[in-house]
Structure 1
Amino acid sequence: MNRQILFLILISTVTLSFSNKIDSVKINEIKVTAPFAMPAIKFPDFSGNKKFSIVGFGAVQGDKIKNSNAIAAAINQASKINGGIVIVPEGEWLTGKIHLKSNVNLHLNKGAVLLFSDDPNDYLPAVQSSWEGMECYNYSPLIYAFECKNIAITGDGEIKAKMDVWKTWFSRPKAHMESIKRLYNLASAYSPVKDRQMVNDTAHLRPQFIQFNRCENVLLEGLTITNSPFWTIHPYLSKNVVIRKLKVYAHGHNNDGVDPEMSQNVLIEDCIFDQGDDAIAIKSGRNPEGWRLKTPSKNIVIRNCLVKNGHQLLALGSELSGGIENVLIENCEVKEGAKLNHLIFIKTNERMGGFVKNIYAKNIQAGKIDLGILGIETNVLYQWKNLVPTVEVRLTPIENVFLDQVTAKEVKFISRILGEKKLPVKNISLKSVTATNITDSESIHENVTGFSNQL
């Protein structure tokens, strides 16, 4: 064989090897109109990719171990070819944790139910995660993706968490509080995350149901999600996230619907939320964590959603030390009879720092709200008030909040804004924000400048 032919063979081999490493997942973009510069959001399209049924990898209904192994094997194979769809067929499939990989779509056919075990041992070894805005090693989220690109969970099926054990962890006894105090002190000391090991007999830090941790180009579409040990959907330090056409029901402790945290370019649309806590809560780390990671939650659009229950339609904070900016919520409805405290609630305290700015709410309708339409409070400490002292005071500047065409039937107040004397809340604009019946005062304000209310 002459040298020229040998050279061509080598070049062909190298080219083939390189091409096998190229992602085969098509990337789509969706452009969203917002009152701020909103980049197009990228998300994966697996319509042309190969399908892998978990049954072909040994899944058997009722067998948790075989199902867990089969799902993991199917995910490995789909990722290995740089783009594949893992199919969960009709039926109930008991499983432990699921760890996604890049270029994989986990798809649940109609009638499929992934039922997640409530045995904490099924979510070990511990993974890099977070608890209430502080990074640590904890039980794996039930569905977890770390540093993945081009991933999706789709379909007409249901993912459901068994709750018999998790619900016994809802209480916060002294041993649990001492554990989160330890985590708080580790975070405040900027200890390496690997040293923050929180799986022990006393912490009982419940895992999130779904966490996308440091991921890019994420799609979550079509599913019914039932129950959750902790926060239900948690995009964390992620970019380009589309969440749409979900039905979410979780009425346990801390059962927020979606918690985008330090995440950017996020679209949440056409979802139904029935929560035991906030429907949507935007966060960006607690205290030194947000200051260390320096990644605001930014460019988030929420539209066309229905809330059946929850503490707030939209909460911002209280973990917001990395900052929150450029948020639009529009064309949303709170169902008559829902048990809500506020429609929009911005909450922080003297320890958080960060910032909140450029928040827009438009065309929102609700029935009775237990408190009011807009709440802004700068001294919300919850259980932390007496748990640990203030190490460093950093106030949160809050400015440029705009509500337009927001209505409710009965409220205690239209707006309650409790700012700091040293740092007043600035530039709050209400336009056509009304309630049929106000039982307390229309406006309850302390330390606010630049407030306007146009009917």
Structure 2
Amino acid sequence: MQKEKEKRLGYELVKVEAPFKMPRIRIPDFENCQRYSILDYGAAREDRSATTKAIARAIADANAAGGGVVVVPKGEWLCSGVRFKSNVNLHLARDARLSFSGNPKDYLPAVPSSWEGFECLNYVPLIYGYECENVAISGEGTLVAEMDTWEKWFARPPAHMEGLKLLYEMGCKDWPLGERDMTKGDANLRPQFVQFNRCRQVLIEGVSIENSPFWVLHPFLCENVVIRGVSVRAHGHNNDGVDPEMCQNMLIEDCVFDQGDDAIAIKSGRNQDAWRIGVPTRNVVIRNCEVKNAHQLLAIGTELSAGVENVLIENCSLDKSLGDVGHLLYIKTNERRGGWVRNVWMRNIESGDLRKGILGIDTDVLYQWRELVPTYEKRITQIKFVRMENIKVGNVRYVYRICGDSLLPVSDVRLSGIEGGTSQEESVAINALAVDWQ
């Protein structure tokens, strides 16, 4: 029986060229799997409860069969969250719109998640997979977050800030995960839209995503991830497009980002939590993507305490009419993070004007945390070997601004083939060794 199940689910090995050793990425292929229409499980377009239950039942049957495609057909559908099981592809047909409740009570009880680099128990991400293998979201339909409540939670009143301070203390003092329930009280830590947590062989392909309570796509402690042909439009607070965190072997390609925050923000956990887990983000390739709006094209940090290495972003473009993108590449950290950033490549990028510069590196980014909470342990981030090649931009404030730490200067940075308009200010390299601009 087990052999029959294994035959139904295939695999694709994705070969990725990079200036570092990049393993082939193994992702699931559901082409020969049985399809499970949610209509057969009682889904009704005006009935949120019925549709939510239908999706859950279809996922359970696809999982039990050893692999299956759960189909959301054309039309408007309401639901209160999707929880994945292994060997399941959630497929949205063309013109299907799956709209997710904005009622926080629909995302309880709390599940293992994270908030800006610290693990915690929090509201269930709108689409959530935990310790799954061979999972996919595919199709030509649209995922929509209903925002009425989440927008109210964008604000940072005292109760929210006290919740953030408490989680910081819990993470830095190694509280057990079971005691870090952030859904109690009024901390109001918004859930991610899509989080695959500790999963392997993950594919997100073709779908469009509108709005998000928090980060949009958040692979967390995952291996073998492909995000392909996805369109994201989310202009709310903290609405990064993709936040790979402590992930390895990942490809993001042919995507369109229209964000209220960074297009792509690479993370690897925060402070003591990340040092304990000790899984770096490694082998990430981003290519052939378009950015319509974002704070940065690619940000790394500030949550990078487990380390980030082997990153390539190439053949991407930014809407030339924007003029509001901060940097093409922005690496940010502080004295509390530790970790490292090394072997980062950006090449063949075309952009209009930039609000700041082509490259920014800042080792003293603490935002509100500088005064809110203490530094329990100082660890300096090593930043070395950054390459930026064949970059075309409009006017910029500066080409690069590097502010390293005197205890561990930034090293081996090279920019070549830079073409563009004018820069308002001279480039600056403080506490940086071997910066080469050709």
The residue correspondences of 1:28-427 to structure 2 (distance < 5 A) are 28-338=12-322, 339-427=324-412
1:359 counterpart SS class: strand
Query: For residues 316 and 6 of structure 2, what CA distance do their matches in structure 1 show?
Result: 40
CA drift of 1:25 comes to 1.2
CA drift of 1:19 comes to 3.4
CA drift of 1:428 comes to 0.1
2:12 counterpart SS class: strand
- Contact 2:241 2:257 survives alignment (8 Å): yes
Q: Could you say which residue in structure 1 is the equivalent of 2:428? A: 444
2:3 counterpart SS class: helix
Query: For residues 23 and 301 of structure 1, what CA distance do their matches in structure 2 show?
Result: 30
- 1:260-307 deviation digits (Å, cap 9, x = unpaired): 000000000000000000000000001011101100000000000000
- Contact 2:247 2:282 survives alignment (8 Å): yes
Following superposition, which runs of at least 4 residues in structure 1 exceed 2 angstroms of deviation?
18-24
2:8 counterpart SS class: coil
- Contact 1:290 1:321 survives alignment (8 Å): yes
Query: For residues 76 and 372 of structure 1, what CA distance do their matches in structure 2 show?
Result: 49
What RMSD in Å do the two structures reach over aligned CA positions?
0.9
CA drift of 1:102 comes to 0.3
Paired residue type of 1:322: A
- 1:217-266 deviation digits (Å, cap 9, x = unpaired): 01000001000000000000000000010110000000000000000000
- Contact 1:23 1:83 survives alignment (8 Å): no
Query: For residues 130 and 104 of structure 1, what CA distance do their matches in structure 2 show?
Result: 24
Query: For residues 409 and 76 of structure 1, what CA distance do their matches in structure 2 show?
Result: 52
2:175 counterpart SS class: coil
Q: Which of 1 and 2 has greater Rg?
A: 1
CA drift of 1:24 comes to 3.3
Query: For residues 306 and 81 of structure 1, what CA distance do their matches in structure 2 show?
Result: 38
Query: For residues 22 and 245 of structure 1, what CA distance do their matches in structure 2 show?
Result: 27
Matched, 1:26 2:18: no
Query: For residues 101 and 18 of structure 2, what CA distance do their matches in structure 1 show?
Result: 41
Q: Could you say which residue in structure 2 is the equivalent of 1:7? A: none
CA drift of 1:337 comes to 2.1
Matched, 1:430 2:410: no
1:175 counterpart SS class: helix
TM-score, normalised to structure 1, is 0.95
- 1:56-85 deviation digits (Å, cap 9, x = unpaired): 000000111001100000000000001000
- Contact 1:397 1:423 survives alignment (8 Å): yes
Q: Could you say which residue in structure 2 is the equivalent of 1:3? A: none
Paired residue type of 2:364: N
Paired residue type of 1:203: A
Paired residue type of 1:440: E
TM-score, normalised to structure 2, is 0.99
- 1:172-201 deviation digits (Å, cap 9, x = unpaired): 111101111111101111111111010023
Paired residue type of 1:138: N
Instruction: Provide the aligned length of Structure 1 versus Structure 2.
Output: 437
Query: For residues 186 and 269 of structure 1, what CA distance do their matches in structure 2 show?
Result: 37
CA drift of 1:22 comes to 4.1
- 1:317-336 deviation digits (Å, cap 9, x = unpaired): 00000000000000000111
Query: For residues 361 and 21 of structure 1, what CA distance do their matches in structure 2 show?
Result: 42
Query: For residues 71 and 222 of structure 1, what CA distance do their matches in structure 2 show?
Result: 20
2:233 counterpart SS class: strand
Query: For residues 330 and 31 of structure 2, what CA distance do their matches in structure 1 show?
Result: 39
Distance 1:377 1:145, change over 3 A: same
Among all aligned residue pairs of Structure 1 and Structure 2, give the percentage whose two residues are the same amino acid.
53
CA drift of 1:103 comes to 0.3
CA drift of 1:23 comes to 6.9
Paired residue type of 1:206: R
Query: For residues 308 and 357 of structure 2, what CA distance do their matches in structure 1 show?
Result: 22
Distance 1:128 1:143, change over 3 A: same
Paired residue type of 2:377: E
2:106 counterpart SS class: helix
- Contact 1:20 1:81 survives alignment (8 Å): no
Query: For residues 330 and 387 of structure 2, what CA distance do their matches in structure 1 show?
Result: 13
Unaligned runs of 5+ in 1: 1-15
Query: For residues 422 and 353 of structure 1, what CA distance do their matches in structure 2 show?
Result: 12
Query: For residues 4 and 312 of structure 2, what CA distance do their matches in structure 1 show?
Result: 40
Query: For residues 434 and 392 of structure 1, what CA distance do their matches in structure 2 show?
Result: 42
- Contact 2:347 2:390 survives alignment (8 Å): yes
2:392 counterpart SS class: strand
CA drift of 1:132 comes to 0.4
1:437 counterpart SS class: coil
